[in-house]
Structure 1
């Protein structure tokens, strides 16, 4: 027997592996080939039923599998094909019905053919999912424990996966959004707040226990009160598409907490529903969006279209692999033929966005969430992988073009994580107009400056003023730069000033996972300490980092809990910890110093909202404007304007003056905008600095992170001064 044979020795194909009859099952009508997915319909005569449509061009047969309340499976052959789509209409089938597919076809892994009807497959267009993927080996299309490991992926596994996998759920499409009012916050006025639905709500004392960890919990008045009190304009939700936990985490008794392992791009993750998973999670998600909109808060989804939970060639067969493996994934070339997967994501596979059907799947999903689920924008995980042509990243890629010309998607907020793990994947500053980007150069520069690791302030000037070196030549504005100091991935803000090294033993990988490039500084002690001097320095550093972020040009992004001292005890990769490590500890707000930090954050956001000079829509010119003053002036500690040599001289001190009377912006009637002027002084050195103020008079101190109102600028501190606009 060779490795190319389909079955394990001594194992006979199960009923799941047998080909279906050619004739459709009784009661299956032809139906329609579009739209894809399961769509419930009402007839004019009061009848109803559901149309099922699945794109599967290489399939030899497709079975639609319906499950009753007891879990018993009933199969219906779909015999109608139109434009490579298998379809049928089942009268009487309504919302709440659970279903999946079994797709028959060739088994020839060398050419990428991995059809296996023993595996129950999730509809890629399923709008709700019931059940979970348990990690059982029967979910794999090939025999993982085959003695010859080198060819294990070529031996078909004929065990039935249905008992161990999830099902799609038919939902109704009768929601009315006429009462919803989208905030439509302009980019320049946006303040993002990255949060995890479960982690944000699990320990909140004001949210009823039965709603914690859910969409309904995030919609609760207690959660909304924190968001509105802080003043953020948009929540950026970590993945809420249906996702699965990887096998290696199942084996360690852990879970994929962050959710960057999608398998259902139309379905709200069932684990975040308080009302059940038989379709009720859809309505609960929509009610959450409405509640956030009513509070003036936009909803941005972190979406993972670059790979799926099916992993590499030995991973489970859950959906796309069993429907059309070569049509959806980038398959490897060379000696392994099409057996393996090209991996630009570090997750085992990469979706092939060169294929028209894949582009359609992604854009259909985006449009569904934007139009029918009410969300206001998307942050694309590893967006460079989505824009790859044959090998290189291509900013004229068909997927980017399809999004940019779509009449609805082109008007929502689009944010790229502008890199992947492949060669040439780092693309910060290169995405086209309409797109904003996570700016990791801002993150690294600000971290390095405040920990004293920058030899000069040349790059800091670019980051504070909107990163024109990255975005201006591409025709974009400062809001293309999503500025952040921390995100879900890495240290929390408090840990950034409390740890020099990662502490990830709880992840079960002997502290090997997570980055070692943290650009952190523990202020003299690793982790918790009773030293009051270290604690005071850490608090000052937190104030420095938050103030720098919220006073920089561009779009600031806060990470939930950073505003009141959230800690993960030095874990910089808590993706698999669904426990107190990752959940926000709201009891911190009982401590005065953390409550004061939150109040400072809210005050800075209010200041930013009140003064357009702090959130300008255009890049600074540095040249004299109509009133003879430049819009931006940089100063040395001596009070002199920075020269070219000053930018590259060793220093950790910088002054930044924004002239509110010299703004280039105009209001809706074309009149020049005017505002107060602001002077930002930064001292990241180890010594106090006696900063000489510019010759203008009338500056008042609004903020000093060391608590001083005048005199020398304390070591590692920041001071913000304001000069009221002149009237008359």
Structure 2
């Protein structure tokens, strides 16, 4: 009877009324055995009597959810316990003391059988349109760990992120979509373990389908689902940042958790069978190999089906389309996602590069993919913070980087524009530091990017000088206004809404402490900026989103676009070489709504002549710390180093 219940697919542990089917892909280790553990850690070893296409499998009766298990293999002369690569939960947070020997593997975290029944309380998916999407990059633990407005037991957890006060904050800020830093199970790299540090960001995947236990009070599976459900109730999407380009097993000499012991072909290898490192993390997953492609696709469907995830941001996504040394937009992965009835409906965001050859692929991902636009980041920071007056480049980014992303593919092909990300300076540090200060990472300040394009405005770090603070706050508003009123999907770092500083650390990946934890003790300036940002996000949805929608697809050529000097005359070819004060006029159709962008990067106030007609409403003027409802008609005096957005319905 039970032999008939045994099946090679799906891989992993699959429950039914009679018990559980266990199946694992393991062509490199045919002597593998299933090991079950009871509550006292006593083990039962079970033969995997069936095999098919490199899979070994067996059906075990009377297994219930919560059963811990692993797989025994022979590693040279020792028996090693390995995780199920398809494990859907882990029994505890993974940890070991270097080196990770076969003996220590038996005390490591174990795979857990999961029953995915859950009361979703008839919640529906938010399905936020692309042109209305506001991405809020958030660390599950870091954002709530110090939040005094929620019960202490929930701080730094999945449940903390969905507490009423936190959701109230998200709603007040106008957030539509939380982009969570990795919440799949993670193992810190050996060099961090030696320094008694952890991979706080989580970009070192252990088991792709298992939620990270560190963020759970009791049950990571149920608590993560609860978080998603409660956020969905309030119309907030959940986007997962996910890492398929490499795994926590590292390169040659790295720890053995599963894939290395089961089938080396999971990874890209050179001709001497050494691991190719196109990720900077020791190994590179090979998606031209069917089992590797399978686990990635199965993982994506797993999160969408069982957790109702709304989309994914793919770390170093060029790897996913890589055929060894080349990137291919027609790769099997892209084709497989495009035809999948579950995956083709969700948001797909690519970090469009990796560190291997042919690795920079901005603008080259297929239809249905949005891409993180680092050219927007670099151009806008250089323009406002470095005085790099490249008007043509700035204008191109403002208008949606159409040199890379044709408006014919909008809104679903809009670029993801950003100023700050988890890696790099926070918004506050961008205007407070000229140099990175990563000494706490233990690498003598050698780590982290050197090209920050920041400006400390005369003082390195924190300052009580009113003039310095005034300049910094204005530049924060310049950067955010440019981001929110450019054509694209705005990506904001969540802690920027609180003006959080990391003390100049631009690579705080191993700082599970106050450096990374959002500081909720806001100063007067911080409170003011948070309120301003909230109002600006509301203004973007009301004013800018319709323009993005109108300028997308077939209707894009039916609108008015004019570039002016401050005196109202059209810009000349010479003006595009470095004009410091210019205006962008946008109008819908022949006589529809109108927008004006008054940009003054010079050091002197400039008076702008406005197009004739009825009065313009001032959406914002970045020289002012608060939004004021007022109107202007014929001219407008724009302060130095600032910009304004004007609107006429």
Is 2:67 the partner of 1:97? yes
Aligned length: 639
CA-CA distance at 1:34 after TM superposition: 1.5
Aligned equivalents of 1:621, 1:176: Cα separation in 2: 42
- Alignment match, 2:38: 68
Aligned equivalents of 1:621, 1:284: Cα separation in 2: 44
Q: Select the residue among 44, 49, 52 that pairs with 1:79.
A: 49
- Alignment match, 1:530: 464
Is 2:392 the partner of 1:458? yes
Q: Which runs of 5+ in 2 are unaligned?
A: none
> Which range moves more in the overlay, 384-393 or 650-659?
650-659
Residues 135 and 247 of structure 1 are in contact (CA less than 8 Å); yes or no, is this contact kept in structure 2? no
Aligned equivalents of 2:194, 2:508: Cα separation in 1: 17
- Alignment match, 1:300: 239
Q: Select the residue among 305, 312, 319 that pairs with 2:251.
A: 312
> Which range moves more in the overlay, 174-183 or 300-309?
174-183
> Which range moves more in the overlay, 205-214 or 30-39?
30-39
Is 2:514 the partner of 1:580? yes
Report the 3-state secondary structure (helix = DSSP H, G, I; strand = E; otherwise coil) of the residue aligned with 1:605. Answer: helix
Q: Select the residue among 178, 188, 192 that pairs with 2:131.
A: 188
Q: CA separation of 1:424/1:91 partners in 2, compared to 1, >3 Å: closer, same or farther?
A: same
Which consecutive segments of 4 or more residues in structure 1 shift more than 6 A?
A: 27-30, 620-624
Report the 3-state secondary structure (helix = DSSP H, G, I; strand = E; otherwise coil) of the residue aligned with 1:644. Answer: coil
Report the 3-state secondary structure (helix = DSSP H, G, I; strand = E; otherwise coil) of the residue aligned with 1:54. Answer: strand
Q: CA separation of 1:202/1:28 partners in 2, compared to 1, >3 Å: closer, same or farther?
A: farther
- Alignment match, 2:100: 139
**Equivalences for residues 551-566 of structure 1 within 5 A:** 551-566=485-500
Q: CA separation of 1:30/1:479 partners in 2, compared to 1, >3 Å: closer, same or farther?
A: closer
Aligned equivalents of 1:623, 1:353: Cα separation in 2: 37
Residues 613 and 658 of structure 1 are in contact (CA less than 8 Å); yes or no, is this contact kept in structure 2? no
**Equivalences for residues 318-397 of structure 1 within 5 A:** 318-325=257-264, 327-333=265-271, 337-338=272-273, 340-397=274-331
Q: CA separation of 1:530/1:62 partners in 2, compared to 1, >3 Å: closer, same or farther?
A: same
- Alignment match, 2:617: 700
Residues 69 and 111 of structure 2 are in contact (CA less than 8 Å); yes or no, is this contact kept in structure 1? yes
CA-CA distance at 1:621 after TM superposition: 10
- Alignment match, 2:530: 598
- Alignment match, 2:191: 248
- Alignment match, 1:645: 574
Residues 89 and 210 of structure 2 are in contact (CA less than 8 Å); yes or no, is this contact kept in structure 1? yes
- Alignment match, 1:716: 641
Residues 69 and 112 of structure 2 are in contact (CA less than 8 Å); yes or no, is this contact kept in structure 1? yes
Q: Select the residue among 98, 119, 127 that pairs with 2:88.
A: 127
Aligned equivalents of 2:525, 2:399: Cα separation in 1: 30
CA-CA distance at 1:412 after TM superposition: 0.2
Aligned equivalents of 1:498, 1:639: Cα separation in 2: 36
Is 2:7 the partner of 1:32? yes
Aligned equivalents of 1:476, 1:553: Cα separation in 2: 10
Larger Rg: 1
- Alignment match, 1:615: 548
Aligned equivalents of 1:266, 1:345: Cα separation in 2: 21
Is 2:27 the partner of 1:57? yes
Aligned equivalents of 1:172, 1:473: Cα separation in 2: 45
Aligned equivalents of 1:243, 1:499: Cα separation in 2: 31
Aligned equivalents of 2:554, 2:472: Cα separation in 1: 36
Q: Select the residue among 454, 460, 469 that pairs with 2:403.
A: 469
CA-CA distance at 1:59 after TM superposition: 2.2
Instruction: Let me know the Cα RMSD of the aligned residues.
Output: 2.1
Q: TM-score, normalised by structure 1?
A: 0.84
CA-CA distance at 1:454 after TM superposition: 1.9
Aligned equivalents of 1:364, 1:345: Cα separation in 2: 22
Residues 28 and 90 of structure 1 are in contact (CA less than 8 Å); yes or no, is this contact kept in structure 2? no
Residues 466 and 479 of structure 1 are in contact (CA less than 8 Å); yes or no, is this contact kept in structure 2? no
Residues 304 and 380 of structure 1 are in contact (CA less than 8 Å); yes or no, is this contact kept in structure 2? yes
- Alignment match, 2:603: 686
Aligned equivalents of 1:622, 1:500: Cα separation in 2: 44
- The one-character-per-residue Cα deviations of 1:242-300 (angstroms, maximum 9, x if unpaired) are 0001111111111100000001111110111012xxxx211111111110000110000
Q: CA separation of 1:662/1:368 partners in 2, compared to 1, >3 Å: closer, same or farther?
A: farther
Report the 3-state secondary structure (helix = DSSP H, G, I; strand = E; otherwise coil) of the residue aligned with 1:468. Answer: coil
Report the 3-state secondary structure (helix = DSSP H, G, I; strand = E; otherwise coil) of the residue aligned with 2:322. Answer: coil
Aligned equivalents of 2:646, 2:202: Cα separation in 1: 43
Aligned equivalents of 1:332, 1:624: Cα separation in 2: 49
CA-CA distance at 1:84 after TM superposition: 1.8
- The one-character-per-residue Cα deviations of 1:574-623 (angstroms, maximum 9, x if unpaired) are 000000000001111xx332112111111111112223444335359999
- Alignment match, 1:655: 583
Q: Which runs of 5+ in 1 are unaligned?
A: 1-26, 43-47, 108-115, 141-158, 664-673
Q: TM-score, normalised by structure 2?
A: 0.94
Aligned equivalents of 2:309, 2:554: Cα separation in 1: 35
- The one-character-per-residue Cα deviations of 1:453-480 (angstroms, maximum 9, x if unpaired) are 3233101111111111101188454752
Residues 136 and 164 of structure 1 are in contact (CA less than 8 Å); yes or no, is this contact kept in structure 2? no
Aligned equivalents of 1:409, 1:480: Cα separation in 2: 19
- Alignment match, 1:497: 431
Aligned equivalents of 1:253, 1:63: Cα separation in 2: 34
> Which range moves more in the overlay, 116-125 or 204-213?
116-125
